[in-house]
Chains A and B, each alone.
Chain A
Amino acid sequence: AQSVTQPDIHITVSEGASLELRCNYSYGATPYLFWYVQSPGQGLQLLLKYFSGDTLVQGIKGFEAEFKRSQSSFNLRKPSVHWSDAAEYFCAVGRGNQAGTALIFGKGTTLSVSS
């Protein structure tokens, strides 16, 4: 069965510093990969997704992620974090590597931003 691992439960980053959130997946073929952000009182918002093609994906709010097949990873990065980026971040994979299916989520990483 597919699974997604986010090794870091909680990360604190200083405002203005760079950020990298880790995500590893288990699946033999090229997966459909996603990063979502969840802020308190709000629904999940899609930051970016990878289906195929260029392994460096640009998303909203200045985020990017890089798909590395050799490492089974899809880490999320941002060069300069803003206080408003404090939230819960979820990595997800499309189940069965099929379009139109449900997403399987990692356990999430809580991002805190210090001033």
Chain B
Amino acid sequence: GAVVSQHPSWVICKSGTSVKIECRSLDFQATTMFWYRQFPKKSLMLMATSNEGSKATYEQGVEKDKFLINHASLTLSTLTVTSAHPEDSSFYICSARIAGELDGELFFGEGSRLTVL
């Protein structure tokens, strides 16, 4: 099956710094990628829809200035957590669908665990 890779798998940073998480579709092109946030023992919360070549669409309650999303190519989307604070510590997961396959499976990355000290 198609592979979605996230990097880094885990990151620790100091409060106030910014962290970038990459999401790559390794063997397919994705015009749309989705970013989720997963809290411990909780469901995946949709943060935003990342569209190649255009601005991301954020869900209600998600601060677009804090969670910057860039989808510069058909295989790469990045999530930058700006001025991170301890409450931003979480597990961030991206997903993507093969371009053109609207009914296709949504493939998920293995997630990136962010810890803000």
Residues of A within 8 A of B (CB): 34, 36, 41-46, 49, 51, 90, 95, 99-100, 102-108
Interface of chain B: mostly helix, strand, loop or mixed: strand
Other-chain residue from A41, A49, A95 in contact with B105 (beta carbon distance below 8 A): A49
B46 within 8 A of A: yes
B13 CB → nearest A CB, Å: 21
Contact B43 A44 (CB under 8 A): no
Give Cα distance in the complex from A104 to B34, angstroms. 11
Q: Given A99-B102, A108-B43, decide whether A42 and B34 contact each other with a Cβ distance below 8 A.
A: no
Q: How many residues of B contact A (CB 8 A)?
A: 22
**Given known A-B contacts A43-B4, A43-B111, A44-B93, A103 and B43 have beta carbons under 8 A apart:** no
Least Cβ–Cβ distance between B57 and chain A, in angstroms = 9
Whether B43 pairs with A46 at a CB distance below 8 angstroms is: no
Measured CA separation A46–B95 after assembly (Å): 12
CB atoms of A102 and B46 under 8 A apart? yes
Q: Kindly supply a per-residue 1/0 record for chain B positions 31-53, scoring 1 wherever the CB is within 8 Å of any chain A CB and 0 otherwise.
A: 01010100001111010010000
B92 interfacial by beta-carbon distance below 8 Å:
no
Residue B97 at the chain A interface, CB threshold 8 Å: yes
- Which B residues are in CB contact (< 8 Å) with A105? 36, 43-44
For window 99-116 of chain B, which residues contact chain A by CB distance below 8 Å? 102-103, 105-111
